[in-house]
Amino acid sequence: EALHKISCIINGDRRKPVDCRTNGADVFIPFSFIEGYFEITGKVEVDKRSANDGRFFNWQHSYAKLVFPKLPYEPDGIFMAFDNYNVEVRDRVQHISPSEGVPVSSQWSANNKGHFYPIQISQFGLSHYSKNISEEQPRRHVVADFEKSEDMAVGDECRVDRIEDDDRASIVLNFTAPEDVSFPGISLISIPDTGDPHILFSVKFLSKGSVILKLDVQDRQRQNYELVYTSSNESIRVENHRIFYGVGSTGEWTHLVRDVYIDLLKGLNLHVRGKKDKIKLNVTRMRILEITLHGRGLLDDVVVQSTAHSELFYLAAEWLVKYQDEEGGWPIWVKRRLGEAELAPGWYSAMAQGQAMSTLTRAYKRTGQMKYLEAAVRALDLFKKPSSEGGITAVFMDKYEWYEEYPTTPSSFVLNGFIYALLGLYDVSHVSTGGYRKRARQLFDEGVVSLKALLPLFDTGSGSSYDLRHFTLKGAPNLARWDYHATHVTQLLVMNSIHPDPMFAEFAERWSDYMKGKRSEHN
Amino acid sequence: EALHKISCIINGDRRKPVDCRTNGADVFIPFSFIEGYFEITGKVEVDKRSANDGRFFNWQHSYAKLVFPKLPYEPDGIFMAFDNYNVEVRDRVQHISPSEGVPVSSQWSANNKGHFYPIQISQFGLSHYSKNISEEQPRRHVVADFEKSEDMAVGDECRVDRIEDDDRASIVLNFTAPEDVSFPGISLISIPDTGDPHILFSVKFLSKGSVILKLDVQDRQRQNYELVYTSSNESIRVENHRIFYGVGSTGEWTHLVRDVYIDLLKGLNLHVRGKKDKIKLNVTRMRILEITLHGRGLLDDVVVQSTAHSELFYLAAEWLVKYQDEEGGWPIWVKRRLGEAELAPGWYSAMAQGQAMSTLTRAYKRTGQMKYLEAAVRALDLFKKPSSEGGITAVFMDKYEWYEEYPTTPSSFVLNGFIYALLGLYDVSHVSTGGYRKRARQLFDEGVVSLKALLPLFDTGSGSSYDLRHFTLKGAPNLARWDYHATHVTQLLVMNSIHPDPMFAEFAERWSDYMKGKRSEHN
Ligand SMILES: [Ca+2]
Ligand SMILES: [Ca+2]
């Protein structure tokens, strides 16, 4: 078939004609133009099931995929579809705090100085909680518990013995080696070669000291790295192939749960600024060659595991208990700009409250420990405080209360953060009792009334709006990009599970259709 | 260049692959697919200015064209861009009433029974008013004023004489001829062959009678037609090539202003139901061969004109004065369904009130006649009456008053009708005095507050919403099709002229950009 070139004039703009083709019957438009004009994604792929060469062009209206939540939603079940999330691998997780075991965020922070972002920490916890349900139990190898003598390489000037430790009620390794890592130390050398990336150990530094993991990594090429967990207070530092994580406590037992892969990835990217320049690891094989001790201290229970979802979840819950303030909130210590509005460091977020509540109620349901429940119900306190007075609740047109992810002035009415807040309230209303239960239920019910009233205002007929700032700022809608739009759909499906309403089901269906290019009708 | 076929799988749907082409570097998508998927229009056109064959593909995001209003807006100037409108040619104008001289609407009416639709009548008036300003003065030929003897063909059994008429203070033709049109009548035969389609005459039937225009029309083929203006009360009737318009008054002088082309078009289409089946005339030449009289009566001032904008405008203004009811409104006598909501016959429309006010204030400014001003200010009365009680004003979220084009329950918050209401209020506030002026100004100001508050809710980021029914019905937005969207832009430009505000200018610019495929940003 003969195709001829024909110029396409787009909306009358003769300066930038598009190079099209025609066979007389139809005109063919280059996808390179469509892609930018409509923001469609597409690429040539090969269908291996096909008999002939199987090449086809895969046109995708939305680059994001809809992930269906696990339903029915339960206050102690998988959170939404968070079993698909890997929070720590995200660029905006700068590293995992060696002292707290939870993510340190680089988001919005000046000079790449990390900060503890409660939403990220809760999402880290909830994703591990959910994976702990959806995935199989981890493989677990005890490298050394020191209940018996272990194989070790002990350098000159080093000394080890096994002693009974009262705190741990267990026999532990008492080690003395040069603080300086350029001298020989004491090495555990019988590490199972399973490739499992999680290492757990308990350490009590009695002087400056360190625990060094020597790694043999097969990425694009084979490399040796050292992960150095030290008694320093400096959270993370990188020197060539040596990455230092400062545990920061001396004279106290510290229990570390580290994902070696993540600790390596974050170290390698610590000084990489541009999102595009970030190093992505594609590790095909990794081995912990040896674990070497320096300084004076005690060591116990060195374990290698395939995963550590349960342990990481409790680290997040622990952090929330430890850092909740007297208002029941988790202030966020970075400045946040939304257009013209600015939140000064120390702001609260209804989404942080909600996600923390969902984390804490799950920790309580699993352990029965009251500290988790107490923290969860204390998180209710901030809900009635207006966003204009440092709280988290805004009111739309003097009528509908809205729990603000970003309590800006003027209000922003972010949709996804509001629904996360509702889920937290729902969880507390099911897990708590008496007055707290009633309070949480009331806040939830009022929120649902607002959601049902305002949800249509987020519907653009071909997607959704991220917030209602266009109402408060009298400007253009801030359209939700596809991954946020997909989150909206997932959330509406969860809402329909906990508060069945045809409206939620219909919106979820229509909004998921938008991801396939369908639109609402015009008149 | 060699192009190969490649199958495009659209959003994973393998059942309906699209037949694309590739040259290895790019993939070419057929416009026949794009057209339906994105609702884009486009066609191959020829650029005559081009040196070579000049064929190009004209891609148009919006099928509607933006028409810029004449600015600054003045209460006695061109109304918006209505000088570009031709109301009577529209399908939903069934015919022009021979007794009232204004359009009869077929819209929403059962059994194709026409009704007087005040919005259509006002728009008819405002378009002629605007054209009277923008177009040159009409060519005018007096066929006969009977001040002297005229050439006539007088049949057997017919009698004519010229008599002084007191009402007209003029000499008129006194005619007597058989009522039956199959007998010879009295014919004026010296009709100028200018092709001008407007005929004006004054007639007083003293028995059953008729004035017949014999037409020679060159359309696709040459045809003879007869337009028969009779003393009957039957508004319109068609028998083959004979179209009857019943003036419906006996014993009274009636002044007719007829567009022969429109009277022919509406007659030919009277029994054509489907929009697609409507006959479109493409008249290249038309001649009024003769004007024939039957029955007994008086005739005066037979005139042929190229246009009759001024005359037609006053017919509309006259109708508004005559048919305004005791509430100051123009009830609409057809049932109107909007989704689930239904307006029973006799409903009022804020848009009808507004467009009538804009018509009446212009008639007053031109003539100084108080009847027009009095009707215009009486139209204010309905504005404070709630739509739920048979009035026209709804309230959005108990806060913002909205003048409803369709006062449905629940409310619909149609944008274009609301702005037309505002323009009417603006006109009255400038043309009236004292309490009325104050009242109109207050209604206008309150409306502007609502418009500024709610306008962002109509912005979809790629177009506009026709109304806010998605809010009241908790459903999908009712997107405005491109011609309504273009009207929104034109209206915002007018609003910015009468009430300058950067918001109106920005929305007008962004919304006009949407017509070229631009979108608001996503996050
Ligand atoms: Ca032990
Ligand atoms: Ca005369």
CA of B210 to the centre of ligand 2 (A): 19
Query: What mean pLDDT do residues A182-198 have?
Result: 93
Q: Which residues of chain B have pLDDT under 70?
A: 1, 50-52
**Cβ-defined contact of B474 to A461 (cutoff 8 Å):** no
Structure tokens at B209: 């009678």
Q: Which of A106-110, A234-238, B155-159, B281-285 has the lowest mean pLDDT?
A: A106-110
**Interatomic CA distance for residues A378 and A439, integer angstroms:** 11
Query: What number of H helices and E strands is found in chain B?
Result: 11, 23
Q: Is the dihedral of CA B435, B440, B445, B446 positive or negative?
A: positive
How high is the pLDDT of residue A52? 61
Q: Which of residues 8-37 of A touch B (CB under 8 A)?
A: 8-12, 17-18, 20-22, 26-32, 34, 37
Q: Does B53 touch chain A (CB under 8 A)?
A: no
Q: Does A449 touch chain B (CB under 8 A)?
A: no
Residue A402 has pLDDT above 70, yes or no: yes
Residue A51 has pLDDT above 70, yes or no: no
How high is the pLDDT of residue A140? 96
How high is the pLDDT of residue B240? 86
Residue B2: which residues within 8 A CB-CB, separation 6 or more? Answer: B23
Residue A48 has pLDDT above 80, yes or no: no
How high is the pLDDT of residue B340? 81
**Cβ-defined contact of A456 to B477 (cutoff 8 Å):** yes
CA of B305 to the centre of ligand 2 (A): 17
**Cβ-defined contact of A476 to B32 (cutoff 8 Å):** no
User: Would strands B55-60 and A4-10 be described as parallel, antiparallel, or unpaired?
Assistant: parallel
Residue A5 has pLDDT above 80, yes or no: yes
The answer to whether residues B510 and B87 touch, using CB atoms and an 8 Å cutoff, is no
* Closest ligand to Cα A142: 1
**Interatomic CA distance for residues B268 and B238, integer angstroms:** 8
Chain B residues in contact with A492 by the CB 8 A cut-off are none
Chain A residues in contact with B456 by the CB 8 A cut-off are 470-471, 473-475, 477
**Polymer length in residues for chain A:** 523
Q: At what angle do helices A350-367 and A309-323 cross, to 10 degrees?
A: 120
One-character DSSP codes across B107-172: TT-GGG--B--HHHHHHHHHHHHHHHHHSPPPPEEEEE-SSS---EEE-TT-EEEEEEETTTTEEE
| Residue whose tokens read 């913002």 | B400
Q: Which of A48-52, A286-290, A341-345 has the lowest mean pLDDT?
A: A48-52
**B268 Ramachandran zone, left/alpha/beta (phi>0; psi -120 to 50):** alpha
Q: Does B466 touch chain A (CB under 8 A)?
A: yes
How many Å lie between the alpha carbon of A20 and the closest alpha carbon of chain B? 8
How many Å lie between the alpha carbon of A281 and the closest alpha carbon of chain B? 28
Q: Which of A144-158, A419-433, A435-449, B270-284 has the lowest mean pLDDT?
A: B270-284
How high is the pLDDT of residue B129? 98
How high is the pLDDT of residue B107? 87
What do you get for the CA distance between the two ends of chain B, in Å? 40
The answer to whether residues A213 and A288 touch, using CB atoms and an 8 Å cutoff, is yes
**Cβ-defined contact of A460 to B460 (cutoff 8 Å):** yes
What is the per-residue pLDDT across B91-124, written as a single tens digit (0 to 9) for each?
999 999 999 999 999 988 777 789 999 999 999 9
**Cβ-defined contact of B484 to A521 (cutoff 8 Å):** no
How high is the pLDDT of residue B52? 61
> Closest Cα partner for B212 from B256, B274, B265?
B256
Task: Give the chain B residue whose CA is nearest to the CA of A516.
Answer: B11
Task: Give the chain B residue whose CA is nearest to the CA of A3.
Answer: B3
Query: What mean pLDDT do residues A426-436 have?
Result: 96
Chain B residues in contact with A38 by the CB 8 A cut-off are 38
How high is the pLDDT of residue A516? 96
What is the per-residue pLDDT across B155-170, written as a single tens digit (0 to 9) for each?
999 999 999 999 999 9
Q: Give Cα A308 distance to the centre of its chain.
A: 15
CA of A185 to the centre of ligand 1 (A): 21
Complex ipTM: 0.91
What is the per-residue pLDDT across B397-427, written as a single tens digit (0 to 9) for each?
999 999 999 999 999 999 999 999 999 999 9
The pTM score is 0.93
How high is the pLDDT of residue A214? 96
The answer to whether residues A519 and A462 touch, using CB atoms and an 8 Å cutoff, is yes
Angle at A120 between CA A118 and CA A124, to 5 degrees: 115
How high is the pLDDT of residue B68? 92
How high is the pLDDT of residue A113? 81
Residue A57 has pLDDT above 90, yes or no: yes
Chain A residues in contact with B42 by the CB 8 A cut-off are 8, 27
Q: How far is CA B421 from CA B5, B74, B390, B392, B464, in A?
A: 55, 15, 17, 10, 19
How high is the pLDDT of residue B282? 87
What CA dihedral angle connects B227, B228, B234 and B240, to 10 degrees?
-60
**Interatomic CA distance for residues B356 and B336, integer angstroms:** 20
How many Å lie between the alpha carbon of A31 and the closest alpha carbon of chain B? 5
Q: Does B501 touch chain A (CB under 8 A)?
A: no
How high is the pLDDT of residue B51? 61
What is the per-residue pLDDT across A58-104, written as a single tens digit (0 to 9) for each?
999 999 999 899 899 999 999 999 999 999 999 999 999 999 999 99
**Interatomic CA distance for residues A155 and A178, integer angstroms:** 9
Chain A residues in contact with B461 by the CB 8 A cut-off are 460, 463, 465, 476-477, 479
Residue A315 has pLDDT above 90, yes or no: yes
One-character DSSP codes across B403-455: E-SS--SS----HHHHHHHHHHHHHHHHHS-HHHHHHHHHHHHHHHHHHHHHG
**Interatomic CA distance for residues A127 and B139, integer angstroms:** 81
**Interatomic CA distance for residues A80 and A426, integer angstroms:** 13
How high is the pLDDT of residue B395? 97
